[in-house]
Amino acid sequence: MIVRNLKDANQSERRIVSPDGNWESARLLLQADNMGFSFHITTIYAGADFRMHYQNHLESVYCMSGEGEVETLDDGIRHPVQPGTIYILDQHDRHILRAFSEMKMACVFNPALSGKEIHNAEGAYELVAESVTD
């Protein structure tokens, strides 16, 4: 059994802050845990507006607090995001996430992230990065 605490993760190398200042993420479950997926609690800062395109990963995102929208770039549809909303990027969807207020999101990635990833120029995570262990 693996047991971790969000407060502890936020005070360790499991807390990653984006260089662009849009988000921070506490990565609670990672590739080294051998579960086949990773689990993160991510804070999207109010006013964030950024493109992502997870070419190497599938992601599910559940909004716990805050409000914003996610826009799918292939069709231009804007989907409201508020507490209780889940969006699933099951087609490696190119998208824009906008935070109207600070948002707390629970995120699951497949394949699992190793822990140090940040978005590349295309808004994706690379498949190989330095691993975080504890």
- Residue 73 lies inside a defined structural domain of this protein: yes
pLDDT digits (tens, 9 = 90+) for 75-123: 999 999 999 999 999 998 999 999 999 999 999 999 998 877 665 566 5
Strand order through the sheet with 78-81: 49-53, 94-99, 68-72, 78-81
- CA–CA gap between residue 99 and residue 90 (Å, rounded): 21
Query: Using an 8 Å Cβ cutoff, are 43 and 103 in contact?
Result: yes
- Residue 124 lies inside a defined structural domain of this protein: no
**H or E element, residue 6:** helix 6-10
Classified as helix, coil or strand, 4 is coil
- Residue 116 lies inside a defined structural domain of this protein: no
How many independent structural domains does the chain possess? 1
- Residue 44 lies inside a defined structural domain of this protein: yes
pLDDT digits (tens, 9 = 90+) for 13-39: 999 998 888 999 999 999 999 999 999
Q: Locate 84 and state its tokens.
A: 């209780």
- CATH assignment at residue 81: 2.60.120.10
- CA–CA gap between residue 129 and residue 117 (Å, rounded): 6
* Residue numbers of the domain that contains 80: 18-110
- CA–CA gap between residue 56 and residue 108 (Å, rounded): 14
pTM of the model: 0.87
Task: Name beta bridge partners: 29.
Answer: 39
Output DSSP code: residue 122: T
